[in-house]
Chain A
């Protein structure tokens, strides 16, 4: 057990437990807060994976923006916060079974791949991944078009969300 692995396992447990709490807790606000915890764990994983930019963006975007949005939405639809008994559907065992089946299938497939327990190669010396990422995002030979498309998507979503949520003024 190296320190890396210890940190990974700790965050993996954090992620999985929080994720489970997200899907089974009765209180929606708690679910949203558990989601924050799970996403924070994912940010830690990104940091372990040397993707520092993604780690920080994960915190800014997911925790800072999306989670806040969730909490807001939960609060705006406040009537639903009263606990009406279970928040899970009656036939919850079918999804559970499906989940377990898919997990088993995926695990079987993953572990059956050759060289799946490889370890990460060293990042080539002199490569500044942050700079490389920035260049890749804006250079025409890289991903400038998807990047721009994503920005257009965000704008469209922004306008659409405002339009849908504001509603008609009588």
Chain B
């Protein structure tokens, strides 16, 4: 029963994708009804199976798994199947919730129910429609998205990819889901394909993640050749892991497990936008906001972390518990560096979504760093809580932008609706959005005790501290401080103070389809953290059992122990979040324009010039090589030159042949001669071609009988 549900989970969105694409493209209501119905079915299945999984004692040992032979590879089979263990169960839980909420949100975001705009065209965001009310006044109101159904088809396909990835029991189908999501990310970032920025961002995202995917595929191939299987539970058997950990490879002295882990981790670097492949994620904000929330905050980028979490036993195969292995060091370094690096960029961004994008990169860095120091449960915990509050924040920012656009259309203000310096005072205009955004922001900053972000981030810090990684701890604490700072900066600029533009003046609250998901996600952003309060936490510890740790920790062969409680990390995380929040409010309470913002440092504002460096180092040389070297030198000079001389030679030889061989010998003797022979024989043989089917059959069967008889007798005569 559970197995059947598990198999069926990804299917409804896929079916909805095809049906919307093929049948209901014209009908908006039917399209979103189908999409949400499909997401709802998958959600329902997830909830059923999640509740059932909770009832299984020792679930980490008694997982739900089902598989079958799929592709014959010589003497063995490539198996595919589905698997539900604690880690994938909690992942499935948040994936189902966020996907369903974002589907619902998309209805409102794409202005369902509004008239179509007069000047709207496919590939561009809707530009508003003029309507005349009963008093005869003409208003400009938001208009419905021209490619409404297509959007729902794409996100359905995306949901299929995500569900496939999470329920997979092997790297192969996981990779399939991974790539489907990559495709959807490309399609949805470039959803408004007539905008050059969106188009370029889509290509950039696709190309950048492809770099990671190639390495990941290499890793998978290596793993398959080394173990002969891609199923997680096969690979994670202690025997296999031991063999992998003791095999030495010629690369940097890494063990096979380490090398495979590193290669697969590079896939994560691409997908989860870690330094140095992080450049695509900020640009990806060109897509519609639900896409940013779903793909680029809650699910797809989390999939990268999910992958390293999945491969955790492999990565830590040769980990002795004290010194980090080279692979783990690399992972921890990249994660920590990205967390700090992205946080510094985020403080200088003015675009409301860009801030969140860098914040996402930074938070993913936290998780990666947690995996790097061996803090399995902390990474999963932060993965789940982050998905909830970051989806909430993105949806909130979408709601803000939507409200701003409404105000802009109403007042005719041309101001950029995404620039925070054009906002201000939205607290009163959009109270629901404000409160939920505040909850999300506090969760992101790790506001103590109440919010989920506090518990998960605190656990990461405690693990880093407890395992003695001082540098990582310090860097992550700094990043956490910056996080709180820029979050409060964002909230202050957006919601407090007086309105700084006409658009902000006339902004209005968004429809219920957008606010209800906000409220639901806000509940999770607060409440989910209480499931993972450490046992030894003063006062609160022990009131609620640390359910999350016990449940998720059971996935591993040897369940991890909680780190020893220590006041230093606790005070640190308390301090950085409160001080950061306070500073953010203090500094920006009076800032009115970018000129008075002292943090508009060019270095940070321009994201450390990484895009420019890549452009100079990679794109330009590649263009130069293709233009100067390949085209002008290789193609035109050498290859064409060769071809031309060959052509000249051939021309000469051809002339010679024609005059001395072709005309007399071939034409005269062979050509005409053959024709004559064919003609004569054809004339004589055409009587056989009666055109009567039975005649042919009689002849062929007669011949068959004769041949059979001959063979039979020859066989016996010779034998």
Nearest chain B CB to A10 CB, angstrom units:
32
Nearest chain B CB to A89 CB, angstrom units:
7
B708 in the interface (beta carbon within 8 A):
yes
Contact status B68-A89, CB under 8 Å: no
Contact status A105-B709, CB under 8 Å: yes
Contact status B705-A94, CB under 8 Å: no
How many of B's residues come within 8 Å of A, CB to CB?
Answer: 8
Contact status B701-A98, CB under 8 Å: yes
B132 in the interface (beta carbon within 8 A):
no
Nearest chain A CB to B80 CB, angstrom units:
12
Contact status B698-A102, CB under 8 Å: no
Question: Which residues of the other chain, B, contact A95 by a CB distance below 8 angstroms?
Answer: 698
Contact status A89-B694, CB under 8 Å: yes
Nearest chain B CB to A28 CB, angstrom units:
17
Contact status A105-B708, CB under 8 Å: yes
Query: In residues 87-125 of chain A, which contact B (Cβ within 8 Å)?
Result: 89, 94-95, 98, 101-102, 105
Question: Which residues of the other chain, A, contact B708 by a CB distance below 8 angstroms?
Answer: 105
Say whether chain A's binding surface is mostly helix, strand, loop, or mixed: helix
A140 in the interface (beta carbon within 8 A):
yes
Question: Which residues of the other chain, B, contact A140 by a CB distance below 8 angstroms?
Answer: 68
Interchain CA distance A38-B702 in the complex, whole Å = 27
The residue that B702 contacts in the complex, of A89, A98, A105, with Cβ under 8 A, is A98
Contact status B705-A98, CB under 8 Å: yes
The residue that A98 contacts in the complex, of B68, B698, B709, with Cβ under 8 A, is B698
Interchain CA distance A98-B705 in the complex, whole Å = 8
Question: Which residues of the other chain, B, contact A94 by a CB distance below 8 angstroms?
Answer: 698, 702
Nearest chain B CB to A94 CB, angstrom units:
6
Interchain CA distance A126-B549 in the complex, whole Å = 51
Nearest chain A CB to B77 CB, angstrom units:
11
Q: Which residue of A lies closest to B69 (CB)?
A: A140
Question: Which residues of the other chain, B, contact A101 by a CB distance below 8 angstroms?
Answer: 705
Question: Which residues of the other chain, B, contact A98 by a CB distance below 8 angstroms?
Answer: 698, 701-702, 705
Interchain CA distance A98-B701 in the complex, whole Å = 8
Query: In residues 701-715 of chain B, which contact A (Cβ within 8 Å)?
Result: 701-702, 705, 708-709
Interchain CA distance A95-B705 in the complex, whole Å = 12
Q: Which residue of B lies closest to A95 (CB)?
A: B698
Interchain CA distance A37-B245 in the complex, whole Å = 73
Nearest chain A CB to B558 CB, angstrom units:
37
Q: Which residue of B lies closest to A97 (CB)?
A: B702
Q: Which residue of A lies closest to B701 (CB)?
A: A98
Nearest chain A CB to B474 CB, angstrom units:
56
Contact status B705-A102, CB under 8 Å: yes
Nearest chain B CB to A87 CB, angstrom units:
13
Contact status B68-A105, CB under 8 Å: no
Interface string of B681-712 (1 = CB under 8 A from A): 00000000000001000100110010011000
Nearest chain A CB to B229 CB, angstrom units:
20
Question: Which residues of the other chain, B, contact A89 by a CB distance below 8 angstroms?
Answer: 694
Nearest chain B CB to A103 CB, angstrom units:
11
Query: In residues 138-153 of chain A, which contact B (Cβ within 8 Å)?
Result: 140
Binding site for A on B (CB under 8 A): 68, 694, 698, 701-702, 705, 708-709
A-B interface, 3 closest residue pairs, ranked by CB to CB distance from nearest: A98-B701, A94-B698, A101-B705
Sample (15) of A-B pairs whose CB atoms are under 8 Å apart: A89-B694, A94-B698, A94-B702, A95-B698, A98-B698, A98-B701, A98-B702, A98-B705, A101-B705, A102-B701, A102-B705, A105-B705, A105-B708, A105-B709, A140-B68
Given pairs A89-B694, A94-B698, 10 additional interface contacts (CB within 8 A): A94-B702, A95-B698, A98-B698, A98-B701, A98-B702, A102-B701, A102-B705, A105-B705, A105-B708, A105-B709
